[in-house]
């Protein structure tokens, strides 16, 4: 006998073998037992969740000569005929290839004839959303008032494409994605029945890769077993077949990212590529790994949502303890965006490398997440008492590190950090929206603002120190100053008065802040 794929061989033959759809199975069994069977059903849900399988079981059950608790016996003549696909009472139609009005007319003509055997004639229309509008209209009348011996079961993965007039005539059942634990348990049952020696970790990973689809899980298990036939199926084997990456690699990668080790990160990616791993799957898996770390860090009550062993959970707790939640959320955001880009890109490696370098250097971004990430790094360095190395031998020379933290060298050679500027809430808002303000101005006016520094004055007054006399003279004109005040007031949401002064004649220049540099990450303390 020819080999049969696992998902076909182990298709459920009765309601008791169905996994993960208890809410639907119980309802249908009760209807059969109480003889309250509807005339039209709509089964909708993602692929591989059991829509067609339950439709066939239901078709057997309503015609079964000896049903057991609402489930077919699989022994009577009617059940055997359906199982062997020779029953005249169960008609399967693929709407993807039979989607015209003429195909529906054939059904309308056929329903006029009562079943040759059994009680019901069951029409299972798969992918019903593929029917044309004309075909749907032709089906309406028959679907609304079919003969008492006819049952329609419509199956679809895209219920939103079905006309409301069809939906209102059907009992709708939404099939859920099957949980990873349920799929893994079923895989263990079938592996034992098939004589497949497989590790629990291997089956758990196959279950997670199936994304809620039992059929996909069985297909993946079939594929992995074929590659390692006659051998024990290990977790590492599954990773090899599916082109995935071990979670220990993710831990090493995250450690390199947090330490801003760009060289280590790039070398890790090179190893992954050289091993033939799929970068698209790598991005998805690493995103899930970061999500799991966030779940573990956020609350101990959420660990049941993390698919990992007790040992892996402990490792995750240790890894998550050293990372701020805002940093993890930034990583997740960047990799979530990357997953959409890398799927259709011809330069997957380049995109992944750029994203990882961006993770290592938050200063490359100008959004709030990146600013918070840089702030967390600075706080860690301050807490550890990091000394910034001197960049020159001369006393009083300025020094700095890669994060833009500048320091002053005292006479004895010890680096001293400058006093940080305290900024009020109003000035903080202006700094945060400075880029939008300059964008609202004319190009020439925006050019004149380059190199400007700002400070607070009394009565909602903003003092702007211009770089030279020419720029000062430009904004000394009433029309230009008024245009700047209007742009600031519009963006800040309150009246702002501008007082322009030349920077080279300002007595207390240390009180002024460059809004562009401040937005890019100069360390500033905000007043509460």
CATH number at residue 336: 1.20.272.10
Does the residue 353 lie in any domain?
A: yes
pTM score above 0.75: no
Supply φ then ψ for residue 172, to 5 degrees: -95, 135
Same-domain pairing of 252 and 230: no
Report the candidate in 488, 494, 451, 446 with the shortest Cα–Cα distance to residue 469.
451
Same-domain pairing of 313 and 326: yes
Structural domain including 222 reads 180-242
Does the residue 152 lie in any domain?
A: yes
Same-domain pairing of 140 and 218: no
Give me the tens of pLDDT residue by residue for the chain, a chain 528 residues long.
578 889 999 999 999 999 999 999 999 999 999 999 999 999 999 999 999 999 999 999 999 988 888 999 989 999 999 988 888 889 999 998 888 888 888 888 888 888 888 889 999 999 999 999 999 998 888 888 888 999 999 999 999 999 999 999 999 999 999 988 899 999 999 999 999 899 888 999 899 888 889 999 999 999 998 888 878 888 888 888 888 877 788 888 998 998 889 999 999 999 888 888 889 989 988 998 899 888 888 776 665 677 766 667 778 888 888 888 888 888 898 898 898 888 888 899 999 999 999 888 876 665 556 566 667 667 666 766 655 454 444 444 444 444 443 443 444 443 434 444 445 677 778 888 888 888 888 888 888 888 888 888 777 688 888 878 788 888 888 888 888 888 888 887 778 888 888 876 666 666 777 776 655 544 444 444
Contact between 295 and 303 (Cβ < 8 Å): yes
Same-domain pairing of 277 and 365: yes
pLDDT number for residue 227: 84
pLDDT number for residue 424: 67
Does the residue 401 lie in any domain?
A: no
Instruction: Count how many Cα atoms sit within 13 Å of the Cα of residue 209 in the half-sphere of its side chain.
Output: 25
Instruction: Say which CATH number the domain at 435 has.
Output: 3.30.300.180
Buried b (16+ CB within 10 A) or exposed e, 362-401: bbebeeebbbbbbbbbbeeeeeeeeebebeeeeeeeebee
H or E stretch covering 23: helix 22-33
pLDDT number for residue 240: 86
Q: What is the dihedral of CA 406, 412, 414, 419, to 10 degrees?
A: -50
Instruction: Say which CATH number the domain at 36 has.
Output: 3.40.50.300
Among 115, 148, 174, identify where a domain stops: 174
Q: How many CB atoms lie within 10 A of CB 435?
A: 13
Among 146, 174, 202, identify where a domain stops: 174
Measured CA to CA, the distance from residue 394 to residue 230 in angstroms comes to: 73
Measured CA to CA, the distance from residue 251 to residue 124 in angstroms comes to: 49
**pLDDT of 128-181, one tens digit each?**
999 999 999 988 888 888 889 999 999 999 999 999 999 999 999 999 999 888
Does the residue 341 lie in any domain?
A: yes
3-state secondary structure of 33: helix
Same-domain pairing of 150 and 291: no
Measured CA to CA, the distance from residue 229 to residue 244 in angstroms comes to: 20
Same-domain pairing of 60 and 109: yes
Same-domain pairing of 79 and 146: yes
pLDDT number for residue 523: 45
Instruction: Say which CATH number the domain at 231 has.
Output: 1.10.8.60
Measured CA to CA, the distance from residue 443 to residue 397 in angstroms comes to: 37
Does the residue 486 lie in any domain?
A: yes
Same-domain pairing of 27 and 115: yes
Among 369, 389, 409, identify where a domain stops: 369
Question: Which residue's structure tokens are 């998902």?
Answer: 7
Does the residue 185 lie in any domain?
A: yes
Does the residue 404 lie in any domain?
A: no
Same-domain pairing of 163 and 201: no
Same-domain pairing of 254 and 358: yes
Report the candidate in 39, 10, 24 with the shortest Cα–Cα distance to residue 153.
39
Q: What is the dihedral of CA 471, 477, 479, 480, to 10 degrees?
A: 10
Contact between 48 and 176 (Cβ < 8 Å): no
pLDDT number for residue 377: 67
Does the residue 515 lie in any domain?
A: no
Same-domain pairing of 146 and 205: no
Same-domain pairing of 129 and 149: yes
Q: Domain total for the chain? A: 4
């Amino acid at each position: 006998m020819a080999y049969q794929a696992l998902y076909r061989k182990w298709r459920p033959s009765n309601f008791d073998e169905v996994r993960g759809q208890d809410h639907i199975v119980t309802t249908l069994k009760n209807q059969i037992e109480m003889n309250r069977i509807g005339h039209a059903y709509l089964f909708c849900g993602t692929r591989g969740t059991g829509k067609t399988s339950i439709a066939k079981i239901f078709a057997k059950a309503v015609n079964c000569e000896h049903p057991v608790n609402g489930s077919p016996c699989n022994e009577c003549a009617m059940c055997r005929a359906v199982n062997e696909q020779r029953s005249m009472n169960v008609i399967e139609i693929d709407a993807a290839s039979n989607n015209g009005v003429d195909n529906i007319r054939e059904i309308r003509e056929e329903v006029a004839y009562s079943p040759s055997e059994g009680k019901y004639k069951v029409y299972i229309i798969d992918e019903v959303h593929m029917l044309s509008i004309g075909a749907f209209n032709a089906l309406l009348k028959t679907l609304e008032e079919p003969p008492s011996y006819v049952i329609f079961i419509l199956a679809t993965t895209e219920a939103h494409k079905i006309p409301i007039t069809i939906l209102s005539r059907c009992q709708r059942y939404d099939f859920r994605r099957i949980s990873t634990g349920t799929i893994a348990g079923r895989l263990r049952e079938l592996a034992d029945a098939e004589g497949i020696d497989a590790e629990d970790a291997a089956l758990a990973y196959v279950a997670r890769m199936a994304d809620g689809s039992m059929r996909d899980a069985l297909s993946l298990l079939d594929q992995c077993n074929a590659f390692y036939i006659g051998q024990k199926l290990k977790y590492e084997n599954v990773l090899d077949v599916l082109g995935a990456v071990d979670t220990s690699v993710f831990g090493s990668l995250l450690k390199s990212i947090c330490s801003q080790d760009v060289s280590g990160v790039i070398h890790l990616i090179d190893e992954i590529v050289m091993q033939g791993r799929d970068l698209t799957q790598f991005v998805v898996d690493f995103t899930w790994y970061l999500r799991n770390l966030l779940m573990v860090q956020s609350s101990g009550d959420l660990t049941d949502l993390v698919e990992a062993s007790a040992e892996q959970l402990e490792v995750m707790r240790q890894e998550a303890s050293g990372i701020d939640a805002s940093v993890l959320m930034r990583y997740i955001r960047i990799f979530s965006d990357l997953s959409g880009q890398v799927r259709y890109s011809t330069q997957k490696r380049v995109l992944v490398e750029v994203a990882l370098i961006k993770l290592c250097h938050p200063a490359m971004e100008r959004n709030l997440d990146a600013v918070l990430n840089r702030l967390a790094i600075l706080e860690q360095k301050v807490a550890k008492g990091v000394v910034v190395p001197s960049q020159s031998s001369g006393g009083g020379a300025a020094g700095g590190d890669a994060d833009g933290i500048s320091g002053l060298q005292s006479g004895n050679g010890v680096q001293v950090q400058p006093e940080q500027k305290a900024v009020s809430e109003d000035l903080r808002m202006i700094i945060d929206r400075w880029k939008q303000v300059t964008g609202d101005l004319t190009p020439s006016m925006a050019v004149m603002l380059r190199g400007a520094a700002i400070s607070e004055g009394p009565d909602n007054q903003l003092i702007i120190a211009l770089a030279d006399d020419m720029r000062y003279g430009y904004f000394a004109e009433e029309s230009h100053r008024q245009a700047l005040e209007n742009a600031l007031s519009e963006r800040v949401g309150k009246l702002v008065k501008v007082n322009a002064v030349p920077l080279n004649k300002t007595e207390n220049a240390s009180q002024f802040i460059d809004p562009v540099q401040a937005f890019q990450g100069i360390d500033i303390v905000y007043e509460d």
